[in-house]
Amino acid sequence: MTEQIPGQRPSTTDQILDLLLDALAERQRERAPSTQPSPRKEREATPTAQPTAAGEGELPPTRPEPPPSAARRPPSAISHPPPEPKPEPRPGEEGWVPPARQPSIDTGKLLGRLAILVAILVVAINIPVKSHGVSLARILPDTASLIIRDGLVLKGSGPEIYELQDNKLRWISSMDAFEHMGLTWKDVHVVDDKFLGQFEVGHPIHLLLKCDGSPHIYALENGKKRWIKDIETFTAEGYVWDDVQFVSCGYLRDLPDGPSIPEDAGPPPQP
């Protein structure tokens, strides 16, 4: 510290030095407290220097100490953002594991057995159960469910097959007539004899053949042609002109001859 001459005003430099010494002594007392009184305790109240000129006597601004929270944190205390989760691999990509297989209820096996059962039932109901080849599928329907109409083909317990025309049963006299009419066994409905009994019996259906180059008419039965002697016999046998089918004369000649109608009419003429 510089000596001060009595009666002389301390200079700015001396004032600054005194302030620095006071601050240094205060810092030492805080760090290492001592029982000895401070040599400059009597100078607790420091007179404020009066500036004599512009800029003289101004104290330098003291730098504030940073708060403890502003101290630099160690590198280990710096928080880092959590790492982003790695996306799971998709099917077909590397590392993908298929999910566990769920227990099966054997749907395919169940459907296969059902299909076999249906096939067995279809075959069973279509197997002919009678000598005329009528299947169970044709027997099962109830006769009450049939629609009564012309052209309905019916069969009872006997071998006769009928076609319903004008609410009358017309017997189809031969299989030749049956096939010539374009019928099949699928067209035949097997019914009770009681059901057939409610209809009136009409004229039989015969297959009658004639060619343009000949006046003779023949009835085709069992693959053979039977010559009908005359018109009177034609009418007496119950034949009708609607049953006459026109074919070629060559077709008639190729058919074998059967007994004439009537049988005592003599040998049949050729068309």
58 secondary structure, DSSP code = P
Contact 202, 166 (CB under 8 A): yes
Give mean pLDDT, residues 86-92.
75
CATH topology of domain 206-271: TTHA1013/TTHA0281-like (3.30.2390)
Tokens of 179: 């096939």
Stretch(es) of the chain classified as CATH 3.30.2390.20: 206-271
- Kindly report which listed range (66-70, 176-180, 248-252) carries the lowest average pLDDT score: 66-70
Coil/strand/helix, residue 75:
helix
Average pLDDT of the chain to the nearest whole number = 75
Going from the C-alpha of 211 to that of each of 214, 216, 245, 270, the distances in angstroms are 6, 8, 8, 11
Give mean pLDDT, residues 259-268.
89
Cα dihedral across residues 246, 247, 252, 257: positive or negative: negative
* pLDDT one-digit tens code per residue, 36-45: 555 454 454 4
- Kindly report which listed range (91-100, 128-137, 152-161) carries the lowest average pLDDT score: 128-137
CB atoms within 10 A of CB 258: 18
Residue 128: the pLDDT is 56
Tokens of 102: 């769920």
* pLDDT one-digit tens code per residue, 100-140: 776 666 677 778 888 888 888 776 665 654 444 444 445 44
Contact 188, 134 (CB under 8 A): yes
Exposed, middle or buried: residue 136 (CB in 10 Å: 0-12, 13-18, 19+)?
middle
Residue 5: the pLDDT is 54
Tokens of 196: 């057939």
Contact 225, 209 (CB under 8 A): yes
Residue 16: the pLDDT is 82
The rounded distance, in Å, linking the Cα atoms of 147 and 143 is 9
Residue 227: the pLDDT is 93
Is the confidence at residue 70, as pLDDT, over 50? no
Judge if the upstream peptide bond of residue 262 is cis by omega within 30 degrees of 0: yes
- pLDDT grade for 161, boundaries at 50, 70 and 90: very high
